[in-house]
Amino acid sequence: METNALSEDPTRDLSLLTQIEADPDVSQASLASELGVAIGTINWHLKRMVAKGYVKVKRAQRKKLRYIITPEGIALRAALTMDYIRNSFDLYRHVRRKTGMAIEEARQHGFEALGIQGEGEIAEVCRLTCLEQEMLVSSAPNLPQIVIDGIKLALIMPSNSRPAAEERGMHGSDA
């Protein structure tokens, strides 16, 4: 069964269920702050999850609510967690494959180093892949660049796609 059919926002639902499981007495304001969204958004998601039977609400004190994850909610959290892990590994494998292809292309053009334009986890996977494949990562000019745009990677070759050492005749090739 596909979890997307169960949940309109799987990442947010997983985060909510995880937070509620960690602290059933958590307030909507705390959830909103933790997840970086408005309280109204949290309220809407919680009402939807209650309506679908994933969460129950009990009054703990006069103005205090306690959220209890139902067995269906636990099953949903497990399914969402598995989807999250599967998607993360798929992305990891995709980034490694694309980085490997970029390294191969850079080497075919005679480069022994390249640059990486971008930040975050995807850039880190690119750097690790370069390290594993013994490709130097440098900020030197005139190198091919792996450019990261969201989850997309592109290799941009410098306008002169021959290494500077080759231009000076240091490779000894007649090409």
Q: What is the pLDDT of residues 86-103, one digit of tens each?
A: 999 999 999 999 999 999
pLDDT at 7: 45
pLDDT at 62: 75
User: 55 with 73: CB under 8 angstroms?
Assistant: yes
Co-location of 109 and 162 in the same domain:
yes
Q: What is the pTM of this model?
A: 0.70
Q: Is 12 within a domain?
A: yes
Dihedral sign, CA of 161, 165, 171, 175?
positive
What domain range includes position 14? 3-69
Q: Is 115 within a domain?
A: yes
Please give, one letter per residue, the 3-state secondary structure of the chain.
Answer: CCHHHHCCCHHHHHHHHHHHHHCCCCCHHHHHHHHCCCHHHHHHHHHHHHHCCCEEEEECCCCCEEEEECHHHHHHHHHHHHHHHHHHHHHHHHHHHHHHHHHHHHHHCCCCEEEEECCCHHHHHHHHHHHHCCCEECCCCCCCEEEEECCEEEEECCCCCCCHHHHCCCCCCCC
Residues of the chain scoring pLDDT < 70: 1-8, 160-175
Co-location of 59 and 95 in the same domain:
no
Co-location of 161 and 96 in the same domain:
yes
Domain at 8, CATH number:
1.10.10.10
Number of domains, the chain: 2
Co-location of 18 and 63 in the same domain:
yes
Q: Is 174 within a domain?
A: no
